[in-house]
A and B are shown apart, each in its own frame.
Chain A
Amino acid sequence: MNSGLSTAVALKRRPLTWHRLQRLVAPYVFVSPGVVFYLMVTIIPMVWGFWISFHKWSIIWPAHPWVGLGNYTALLSEDLFWISLRNTAVYTAGVVPVEVAFALMVALLLNTKMRARGFFRLLYYLPVVTPLSISAVIWQWIYHPHVGLLNWVMRVLHLPTHDWLQEIGTAMLAVIIVAIWSGVGYRMVIFLAALQGIPQTYYEAAMIDGAGGFALFRHITLPLLKPATLFVLVTSIISSFQVFSIVNVLTQGGPLDSTHVVVYYIYKRAFGDLQFGLAAAMSFVLFAIILVVTAIQWKLIGREVSYE
C-alpha cells in the first residue's frame, strides 16, 4: 500500500515525458473499445429503457408523453404479466435444479478415466451448439402425439399418451425438458474445468486419512466447486428468467398461456402491440426480480472456499 502510494507521488512529481504519458494513457486506450462497446450495447440502452418506462411510448409515434409511474401501475392490472411471471418461476424451478445437478453428475463421470471420454464430452456438448430451429424440429417430432418417439415409449410402457405441446398440463414440462437438454452441456463444461482445477494432493491426503468416495466428494469436491457452482447457479437462474426462444419456437406461449413467460410477453407487448413504455416497465420489474434473486444466492453461497 505504502509503496504504491510513494510510486504515485513519485510519478506525480516527475516531469511529464512522452514515455510517462504513454504509460498513463495507454491502459485507457486499450480498454476504451470494450468500454465504448459495452456502453453502446448495454449501459446506454439500459438507461434509455428506464427513461422509456416513464413514458407512453409507441416507437414510431414522434410524441412520447411523460406518464410517470403510469406504466408500472398499469402492470398491476396486466393479468397476463402476472401469469407469465408465475410461469417463468415454474420454468426456473423446473430447469435450474435438474440442469445443475445433471451437469455436475455428467462432469463427475466425464472427469474419471473412462473410455471414449472425448466422445461423451462431445455428445453432451452437442445440444449447446445445435441451432434452436433444428432442435425444435427434432423435439416437435419427439413430442408428436401420433408418430412421436415419446408417445411410442409411453405406449410400450402401457402409460397414457399425451399431446405434449398442446395440453395445458404437459406443455410446460415439455418446454422444461428441451431447456434442460440444451443447457446441460454448457454447465457441464464449467464444472469439468473446475473439477480439473482441484489439486490431486487434497484427495491423496484425505485418502491416507481413510476418506471414502462419498466423503471425498462431500468434503473436498463439493466445497471446492463452490465458486463454479455459484457461477452456474447465477447464470442458469438469470437465463431461465430470460427464456424466450424455446417458448417462441415450440409453443408461442400456449396452450391457453400455460407456457407464457415474461420475456415472451414483453416482446409481444412491444413489437406486437407497440406498447414500448409498458414493455420497458416490465423489463425493469424483471430486472429487479433477477437482482434480488442473485443477491440472495450471493449471500447464501457466495463465500469462496480454499484449503490453501
Chain B
Amino acid sequence: MTEHATRHTPPEGPPGDGDVLLVTDLSRRFGDLIAVDGVSFRVGRGETYGLLGPNGAGKTTTISMVAGLIEADAGTVTVKGHRMGPARVEPKRHIGLVPQELAIYPELTARENLTFFGRLQGMSGTTLASRVEDVLDVIGLSDRAKDPTKEFSGGMKRRLNIGIGLLHEPELLILDEPTVGVDPQSRNSILESVESLSTAGMAVLYTTHYMEEAERLCDRIGIIDSGLLQAEGTRDELIRLTGDVDHIRLDGSGDTVAAEAALLALPAVEQVDRERHTLHLAVHDAPTAIAEIVTEATSAGMRLNDVQITRPNLESVFLRLTGKALRD
C-alpha cells in the first residue's frame, strides 16, 4: 500500500489559468476512521476528472469537501481561485452538485424543482424561466414538466437530478455516482450528457466505481482506496505505471518454432511462450504492433487461424495497486 501511495504527488505550484478546481492535501476523519487522507488533484476547464474506487473508498467524503458540504480536517479546496468551505458563498456560485441520492422534492413538479434551485442560485425572472425550459429540453422532460416528480420513473428522476446541477451553467460540475441504479438506456443518456458538457468546456469531477464509465468519460483518473489517492493519470499512464503489457494470442499451424524466433526479434515484443500450436506474446502497444506481428509470423511459416488481443484495463490496474478488485 505504502509503495503505491508514493506514486502520487500533490499538484505543484500555484493554480494555473486553466484550473477550475485545485485540491491539496485534503484530509477528513470520522472518529477513528480516516475517510480521506491527504488527497490532492486538480481539474482544468473542459476536463473530466474521475475518482475511481470501490464503495467506502472516500469518494463521497472527498466530494462533500469539494462541494463545501463539510469542513476538511486538513488541506484546501480552491474553486476558481476561491477557497471552499461550508460557510463560503462565492466558490459555491461556480459549482453544480449532483448528489448520489435523488436530491429532488417528490411533491414538486419537475419545473418547480428546477425553479426552486434556480432561485437559490440567485437566478430570477425571464432568465430563470428560459433556462428552466432549456434544461427541461436537454434532459428530455419538457412534456412531463408539470407532473409531480413522485410520479417519475427512476431514470427520469436521475435526469432531473443532473438537470438541477446544470441549471446555472456552473464552471465545475460535480457528479457523485450518477448512474447508480439506473437502467442501461438512461445510463447511456447520462454518459452522453456528461461527454457533451465536457466538450462544451465545463470542468467535471466524476466519481464512480464502474471502470467502464471512468474509461469512457474521464480525461484523467484518480484511483482512490481507503481514503488514499493511490495513483492518477490518463488511462494509458495508469496502465504504464503498473508495468502491465498487452497480450496477443496466435492460434494456428505450420512452423510455430520459426515464428516464435522471428517474433522475439521484434522490438515491440517482450516475451513469447509456445504451447503446441499456440503462441502467447507479451507486447507493448498491441494495436500498433499487431500488423507487424501477423506479417512476421506468416512469413516465418505459421498459418494463423485465430488472433486475440487482451489489453490491461483499469480493473487490473486497481487490482495491482490495491490488491483487491474494484467491486470488492
Tell whether A pairs with B.
no
A interface residues (Cβ-Cβ under 8 A, vs B): none
